[in-house]
Chain A
């Protein structure tokens, strides 16, 4: 048990050290911007990974919660007079409520049916956001008021690097801890065999719903952070393609691996930036790299590589 605790703390320490050390080698605030995007995507992916990797339920509409979080901090201050920081929690609350309400019926579904139901949820939310233009500014999006905390105006790539980095640390800490709690173990039981879990007394419906709500809150907070950071939001962030991107990050990094989600986000966010030198072959190469990674590292980057190193170390 002590080894487990140490492992968790060490992972957190390494992550914290990396967040603290990276700025030393960043030549311009463009790098802060890219790194902040990695932290935000990683945060959403860690949440989704709790649902997909730990509890074994798929969601193809997760960007919906990302969008709700983002639009909550846009609409709250602009139309309802809610202070920006409160809008962040309101968004999280709204996402949790929606996940709870929708999750109850649709989490009874399995496999492809669940995938389609969550897909439908995602499409619906995106549709509402892009058509209710009186509130959301329609398909062209809307500006987001800057976040102010105790008179401090949170702006600039460097500042947001630290804020999103802090959020990611918090999210990682919770996800790592969750893994070792009875809830986390119940999620794993669900993942391995729903029938077996039910037989040993795990309340399957309740735990599925819990995982769904947790994942929704993670995505919502990530969405709010991105909206504040950009000062502008449009419906793409709630769209199907973004949902797919989140699922890709989780699967590429490694299902069930918290560190995997961070690595997956780092790869998927930074690769398009690196590949710009190839101009028109950019998308071709991006696809190729993902395909090759999935062929040779079937369990995702982190679990596959760590498995490989483990075997080497033993032999």
Chain B
């Protein structure tokens, strides 16, 4: 290649990176950012989050915005790639100059983005599950979904009520499964649980009968717990029924709390229990339940706008957005620092995931009552009768 052409390509490459600028900040608007995994392997989480944020920001703006200002929502899709998420986070801070962020679909992408928001001192409400996001507490990082540790505790609490203490575990080796398994092993002694056998499977495995047979042949197993999300738990559930193990109580995690799990697992899902947010059983909650109004309204709004069944993941985005909006109203300011202080003071916020009471040492603000123990009956979620 000649030197002249070399120069030309260099310039072309340079010009490419210049063409990334954005429009100027309009008056009377305030920018909220979001990086979500709308496509890629975590799209079943990211897509409802994306739709929820767009739907409710439109609603808020139609009602006059927040403190007289319209919200401008900037959403980027990281495709499930943490490195890309990190770049988009930098873009939100540096280029779009957002005052806060509600996003971070997976734990991996959230962890990659945290340093950006901590350094820029901009509040970041994450939608990721793992406890590492808020433990240790970081000044500008909050999250809305229940932690996997709470799910373990809820399951063990239920097991204890049923006088079952010897359990077998079968966990996915993906991020969610591995993290929840570790938390379950950690909290098991607090509930007097004995883990007799601890098996695992790969996220793309298509048959788990080998691991389940091992559990079946382990003497004394009174119940089986399956931390995991995606398709894995549905296959485990099917195999569980095929091996005729249904007499032993079977627990799934909140990771499968979407209608597609029941569809995938079919009749094998009958009798399976799992901890999940009130959103899934909104219409079955008693009228006295404080969350009844919020969850039924969200479900109706989401389903009529998207024509798709509601999932708890979109609910996390709803909670994050409204915790932020209420903090902005209280702060009556667009200063990220003041908004952060108000988010931390969130008390008695009724969301789809539970009642949120944050503090300087708790950036999640949910307790075990946020989880309902559900049982799948007749192809639908039902509130499990505790102690039965």
Contact = CB atoms under 8 A, between A and B. Distances in A.
Interface in A151-166: 157
A57 interface: no
Chain B contact-residue range equals 35 or more
Contact of A270 (B17, B130, B178): B17
A233 B173 CA distance: 18
Contacts of B219: none
Interface string A136-148: 0011110100000
A128 interface: no
Given A31-B20, A33-B87, A234-B112, A140 B179 contact: yes
A171 to B, nearest CB: 16
A234 B108 contact: yes
A274 B5 contact: no
A230 B86 contact: yes
A203 to B, nearest CB: 30
B20 A273 contact: yes
A301 B6 CA distance: 12
B87 A34 contact: yes
Interface stretch (A21-29, A74-82, A184-192, A204-212): A21-29
B342 interface: no
Contacts of B93: 30
A241 to B, nearest CB: 8
B247 interface: no
Interface stretch (A6-14, A47-55, A102-110): A6-14
Contacts of B4: 309
B9 A263 contact: yes
Secondary structure at the B interface, as helix, strand, loop or mixed, is: helix
A306 B86 CA distance: 35
B360 interface: no
A301 to B, nearest CB: 8
A272 B84 contact: yes
Contacts of B62: none
A196 B279 CA distance: 70
Contacts of B86: 230, 232
B355 interface: no
A94 interface: no
Interface in A236-266: 236-237, 257, 259, 262-263, 266
B1 A302 contact: yes
B82 interface: yes
A27 B97 CA distance: 12
A63 B7 CA distance: 30
B3 A7 contact: yes
Contacts of B2: 7, 306, 309-310, 313
A139 B178 contact: yes
A234 B82 contact: yes
A198 interface: no
Contacts of A274: 16, 19-20
Contact of A236 (B13, B81, B130, B132): B81
B95 interface: yes
Nearest to B86: A230
Contacts of A6: 3
Interface in A276-297: 276, 279-280, 282-283
A258 to B, nearest CB: 10
Contact of A141 (B38, B82, B84): B82
B83 A230 contact: yes
Contacts of A30: 87, 90-91, 93-95
A35 interface: yes
A283 B78 CA distance: 11
B20 A34 contact: yes
B65 interface: no
Q: Interface centre among B93, B95, B179, by most A CB within 10 Å?
A: B95
Given A140-B175, A230-B112, A283-B39, A10 B6 contact: yes
Contacts of A237: 83
Contacts of A230: 83, 86, 112, 115
Contacts of B173: 130-131, 139
A141 B112 contact: yes
Given A27-B21, A282-B77, A15 B10 contact: yes
A88 interface: no
Contacts of A267: 13, 16
B318 interface: no
Given A34-B17, A141-B108, A276-B77, 9 more contacts: A10-B3, A138-B175, A139-B174, A232-B114, A270-B16, A283-B79, A302-B1, A305-B9, A306-B9
7 contacts: A14-B6, A14-B7, A34-B17, A34-B20, A141-B108, A230-B115, A272-B84
Please give me the 6 A-B residue pairs with the lowest Cβ-Cβ distance, nearest first. A30-B94, A139-B175, A306-B1, A28-B94, A266-B13, A10-B3
